[in-house]
Amino acid sequence: MVKIGDIELGEFPLLLAPMEDVSDPPFRAVCKASGADLMYSEFISSEGLIRDAIKSRMKLDIFDYERPVGIQIFGGDEEPMAMAAQIVEAANPDLLDINFGCPVKKVTCKGAGAGILKDIPKMVRLTEAVVKATKLPVTVKTRLGWDDDTKNIEEVAQRLQDVGIKALTIHGRTRTQMYKGSADWTLIGKVKNNPKIHIPIFGNGDICTPEQAKNAREKYGVDGVMIGRAAIGYPWIFNEIKHFLSTGEHLPPPTVEERVKVCKQHLRHSISWKGEIVGILEMRRHYTNYLKGLPHIKEFRAQLVTCNTASAIEAVLDAVALQYKDHIFERTMPPMAGSEGTAIQTERELACGIAD
């Protein structure tokens, strides 16, 4: 049984990655229903929380059906991060996560996110300040290092464990890699198999199939895996991995009817939480991924991103279900955001690891 503090997560938990403009409550709802064991909020600026910024405060919203759920914060200064931790605690999540992995320039140039990988002593001080400021279990998500010459994750893991974190998620790339190339799991495995490490170690990076999750468990020994882009428009990935790990067999891909049903649920959650106008607008980034693999879908997709009412959108989705009711999906890699011109391919939306 993998535990973070007193939170029991099962034998090999599957975590939903915190992704800016993606991992909001509506998206988390469909992922939870599809088997995610632990989920995180979008990353929240510590400075934004202290200023009481509306968008930052809204990201604190969590619901009982999501639990266990963590709220993730980022920042480059100890006092604001400690103050933000206290604000987060008042929102009553199950844990608090610190983002030391976001590679986007506007974050790293402030010494936050992956930017702090240039100053490990400061990283440790900042983590300790957060741990001391809250009674919540504190976890960290980070990368292998700043660049190929500073892959210091083994040292980082021990030092963060020493100041009290309860789990560590490691993305298998450096900051300079951004999201290019393949994730390197070798160092993740070394951290997990270090006899001095006794907290759960979760691996992140390029987990897109059940086979990859199985390989991460068997070859590198990680306690669980964090999944990001493979879940966008394809929340079924969580249950598919669980089924494969327990039986060695694949679940059949979701049918068009199942895809439309979950897409509608996602839309309704989005409208309920954000209001009709914003909920509809922000849902537009997801349709390409839900409908990926359907031939000649361009016309329907164009309608979905121009409709302005929920009833009109649902009517288009019903038309999709009818048009493609006999379509058989091939078993391929789950839909990937940011590829083939999908709707989610901007630096803003890539912030904090939408790639994984």
Q: DSSP E strands: which ranges in the chain?
A: 3-4, 7-8, 14-16, 38-40, 44-45, 69-74, 95-100, 138-143, 167-171, 201-204, 224-227
Distance CA 144, CA 245 (A): 27
Q: pTM of the entire structure?
A: 0.89
Structure tokens at 342: 């999908």
Q: Angle, nearest 10°, between helix axes 256-274 and 310-323?
A: 170
Structure tokens at 118: 């240039």
CB distance 319 to 311 below 8 Å: no
CB atoms within 10 A of CB 149: 9
Q: What is the pLDDT along the chain (356 residues), one digit of tens a residue?
A: 999 999 999 999 999 999 988 999 999 999 999 999 999 999 998 988 888 777 788 889 999 999 999 999 999 899 999 999 999 999 999 999 999 988 888 888 788 888 899 899 999 999 999 999 999 999 999 999 888 888 999 999 999 999 999 999 999 998 988 888 888 999 999 999 999 999 999 999 999 999 999 999 999 999 999 999 999 999 999 999 999 999 999 999 999 999 999 999 999 999 999 999 999 999 999 999 999 999 999 999 999 999 999 999 999 999 999 999 989 887 655 444 333 223 333 333 333 444 45
DSSP-derived secondary structure letter, 95: E
Distance CA 79, CA 42 (A): 21
Query: Active-site residue numbers?
Result: 102
* 130 phi and psi angles, rounded to 5 deg: -70, -45
Distance CA 204, CA 213 (A): 10
Report which of 143, 115, 290 is spatially closest to residue 205, judged by C-alpha positions: 143
CB distance 41 to 49 below 8 Å: no
Distance CA 61, CA 42 (A): 11
Distance CA 262, CA 235 (A): 9
Instruction: Provide the residue type at 177 as one letter.
Output: Q
DSSP-derived secondary structure letter, 18: P
Percentages helix, strand, coil for the chain (3-state, rounded to 5) are: 45, 10, 40
Instruction: Provide the residue type at 311 as one letter.
Output: S
